[in-house]
Structure 1
Amino acid sequence: MLHPKGNMDLAYLARILKEKQISYFLIVPSLINSLLNFLKENNDISVIKSLRSVCSGGEAITTQLVSLLRSYVHENCLIWNLYGPSEITICCTYHMVDVTYEKSNIPIGRSLPKYQCLVVNEMLQPVIVGQEGELFVGGVGVFAGYLGRDDLTAKVVIEIGDEVFYRTGDLVRLDSRGFLHYIGRKDHQVKLRGQRIELGEIEQCILQSSSKITACVVTKYDNE
């Protein structure tokens, strides 16, 4: 176990990785980026050579960051992209990343056993392959609801057929291989002069431009 906030102390984190010869690492992309830059600046990239499996989750990961990570870890190290909100018990989809195939967008993959993922339109009808829709997740990990907030629970816990699904609010698309691709948050779409803009896509473009930055795109109004 790391000490409190140890994951934010890069020198301490690097020391633990080296001393304990850590082989399995669950980490968010922004911290991967910071850690790799720290190790490179200190000429100590061998710290992560013991890793055999790196699981990324919590944020969208770019192909550029995966390529950078791949260049530093052992050739047999597996890199996974995981997805899942807290309301479905953290993780419901997985994907083993192959940077030789995925050049622009890394899928969040397929559902884990005992989970079911649906991509639906605003009428709660399934969308076709390649079409954008909202992700609904059903299965063993779906939460019972928000404590003392039945009003909020009713908005996100939906029965479809005999199954209970969590309405994630995340926009995804399904490709021809059956892999889900994360697009962004439904509530992060804005309209400017009548045109729909996905803030998450702008973030991804910025992140692809450099491996040394993190980005968050927000809407700014004239009176702010």
Structure 2
Amino acid sequence: MSGGVYAPLSPREPFTRLLTCITESNARFVLVHHFTHDRIICSCRLIDINQIISRTQAHDDTLWCIDDVHVTPDYISHIVFTSGSTGTPKAVRLRHRNFVSYIRSYIIQPTDVILNHTSVTFDAHFEEIAGTLMMGGQLVLLSPHGNLDMSIFCSTISRHQVTYLGGVPSFFLMLTEFMAIVHEKNCLKTLQCISSGGESLLSTVAQDLLSCVNEHCRFYNYYGPAECTEGAIEYRVTGVEGAQKYVPIGRPMPNVHVYLLDEYGQPVIPGMQQGEIVIGGEFFL
């Protein structure tokens, strides 16, 4: 509504990283609340959202300013930070058209009930929140630290009839191990779609997770760096990938072009050469 750029910060991150992220994003304002007000020390102006939320009515001039904001598809929508190869946070600026094109090609449906459990330090949290609301789905917020307690996590899925669950393979491994220990598999039966990404997905983890859901649940493995607006290549997991150690990354999503090029920028010969993945399309900067 305001035309600003969203750049999430986690109060659990070290102060030096927070300061680097604020500097890299050229932030003018930092939104805080009563738990984080003393956590941020920088030259930016701090805006306490508790004071804003506590107001019973907004001023007419404030509403007029919001209505007068014009945002084009090429404006920056949000900024995500990656550690990169050096460990220094790298600001990746994504435009409105990038994110909208990605969500339109993604698997979230208007009928989905989606559990928001991803930390703001990962770009997938924006997909869970903004993507769900854009598609008209229902968003369920997990209780604080609920992703560290598998009993709370599983009961939340069951209680709210969650239909979509996204996560990284290491989290799914922890989830399936917990369910094997407690001998409880019915809590995931409401899931209609699972999305995995961010790490290589072991075939054994995929098989274990599929054994915990209903037979109609779709399972996708995604690949793509943050510059690709989260994902660019997808693979529908079938559960028969046992002969391979890892689940394949699949084929390009709609509106995405993927090339395998050699060191001279020429297409490699299939089955004879190794190359570098080059990705293009509407999701990108």
Pick from 112, 115, 119 the counterpart of residue 253 of structure 2: 112
Give the direction of change, closer, same or farther, for the CA distance of 1:137–1:44 in structure 2 (3 Å limit).
Answer: same
Pick from 133, 146, 153 the counterpart of residue 275 of structure 2: 133
- Number of the residue aligned with 1:39: 179
Query: Normalized against structure 1, the TM-score is what?
Result: 0.59
| Residue correspondence of structure 1 range 22-33 to structure 2 within 5 A | 22-33=162-173
Distance (Å, rounded) in 2 between the aligned partners of 1:42 and 1:10: 10
Matched to 1:112, the amino acid is M
CA contact (8 A) 2:196 2:221 kept: yes
Q: CA RMSD in A?
A: 1.6
Give the direction of change, closer, same or farther, for the CA distance of 1:128–1:73 in structure 2 (3 Å limit).
Answer: same
SS at match of 1:72: coil
Question: Structure 2 unaligned runs (5+)?
Answer: 1-140
**Higher alpha-carbon Rg:** 2
Matched to 2:250, the amino acid is G
Deviation of 1:55 (Å): 0.9
Q: CA offsets, 1:180-222, max 9 Å, x none?
A: xxxxxxxxxxxxxxxxxxxxxxxxxxxxxxxxxxxxxxxxxxx
Distance (Å, rounded) in 2 between the aligned partners of 1:102 and 1:117: 26
Give the direction of change, closer, same or farther, for the CA distance of 1:45–1:139 in structure 2 (3 Å limit).
Answer: same
Deviation of 1:46 (Å): 1.1
Query: Normalized against structure 2, the TM-score is what?
Result: 0.47
Give the direction of change, closer, same or farther, for the CA distance of 1:3–1:128 in structure 2 (3 Å limit).
Answer: farther
- Number of the residue aligned with 1:94: 234
Matched to 1:100, the amino acid is V
Q: CA offsets, 1:130-174, max 9 Å, x none?
A: 33211111111212xxxxxxxxxxxxxxxxxxxxxxxxxxxxxxx
- Number of the residue aligned with 1:78: 218
| Count of aligned positions | 143
Distance (Å, rounded) in 1 between the aligned partners of 2:264 and 2:160: 52
| Residue correspondence of structure 1 range 1-224 to structure 2 within 5 A | 1-100=141-240, 103-104=243-244, 105-130=246-271, 131-143=273-285
Distance (Å, rounded) in 1 between the aligned partners of 2:266 and 2:145: 43
Q: CA offsets, 1:46-95, max 9 Å, x none?
A: 11111111111111111111111122211111111111111111111111
* Percent of aligned pairs sharing the same letter: 32
Deviation of 1:100 (Å): 2.6
